Amino acid sequence: MPKMNEYLLTTPFDIYELHLFQLVAKHRSFTKAAEIAGLTQSAVTRQVQGIETSLGLALFERTTRSVELTPAGTALWRESGRLLGDIDRTLKTLREDYAGAKKVVRVGVSRSVGLAYLPGFFHANLRRAPHVGYRVSNRSSAEILSALESNELDLGVLCPPRRLPPTVRVTHRFKDAFVLVGSPGAAEEFSVALKSRSRRLDWLNSQSWLVPDEHSNTGRLLRTWLTRQGCRAEAAMQLDSFDLIINLVALGMGVGFVPARALALYHRKRTVRRLPWLERFERDLVVVVRRHRDLPGHLTQFIDNVLF
């Protein structure tokens, strides 16, 4: 018992103070953190200064215009996010297993995954496990991976980067084939250009291309593949949604590569045509969860019921 009392007297901060630190770090603002926490700015400032004094480290660099994390602050933000996420997950599990709370699966779906995929992810689960709820968010792949590390999400569906963080693991991987689409007029022109490779490339390089964001994993893979095909595909517009690309193609605003499965929602659109391409572009889509965690039964069941 004396050892425990000694620990409580010397610990530099408690969980409440750590939550306040996380709010300031997330929003880079003491004012915004205070607003969310329902406190005054001076109260939040005092709490954070207390942590800094106890640690003997500066966690933020403050100016009149900005609040930025120091290297020490960045390290604490990353590690404490996982700690607080673990605590939240433990409390969530306790409420679900012992207090009768409804079990909820928190799913992050990448913005580059079209709406046509969602029935395969959820339809069987809604039928077979009606007692389970779902909280679905649409984020970038990087945001999903970060949320998994901090236990804000239970699983993510995304196009993976070359290297996944060591804190997550892949449960399922499946191929996602793409097709080139354009307007009826573009399809007619392309059929003429198909007569020779040089004419085809000249035509493609003259088009207005609607492409996924170059900073996304899919965007980088597609650009590399198009370059190997000899196609410059200079972007007229960069977007983070293939559903949006398909609808803009239908309006005659350009051409673009989209997942073949995404077209399932638009099969009646006569203004969207597939343009034949000899080579096929594919990406991987994966389901990822936190590593070193025993998955609860309802989450395992959800993953098993997903139709890829």
Task: Go through the domains of the chain in sequence order and give each one's CATH number.
Answer: 2-78 (1.10.10.10), 80-175+285-305 (3.40.190.10), 176-282 (3.40.190.10)
Query: 232 or 173: whose pLDDT is higher?
Result: 173
Q: Looking at residues 54-60, what average pLDDT do you find?
A: 90
pTM assigned to the model: 0.76
Question: Is it the case that residue 88 has pLDDT exceeding 60?
Answer: yes
The winner for highest mean pLDDT among 48-52, 95-99, 243-247 is 243-247
pLDDT tens for 148-168 read 988 889 999 999 999 998 889
* pLDDT value, residue 8: 46
* pLDDT score recorded for residue 95: 79
Contact 61, 71 (CB under 8 A): no
pLDDT digits (tens, 9 = 90+) for 175-195: 999 999 999 999 999 988 877
Q: What are phi and psi of 253, to 5 degrees?
A: -95, 0
| Selected residue with higher pLDDT from 9 and 43 | 43
Who's near 257: CB < 8 A, 6+ residues apart? 178, 179, 180, 181, 211, 222, 226, 281
Instruction: Give residue 267's pLDDT band: very low, low, confident or very high (50, 70, 90).
Output: confident
What Cα–Cα distance (Å) separates residue 294 from each residue in 45, 144, 158, 291, 299? 38, 20, 21, 9, 10
83: Cα within 13 Å, side-chain hemisphere: 13
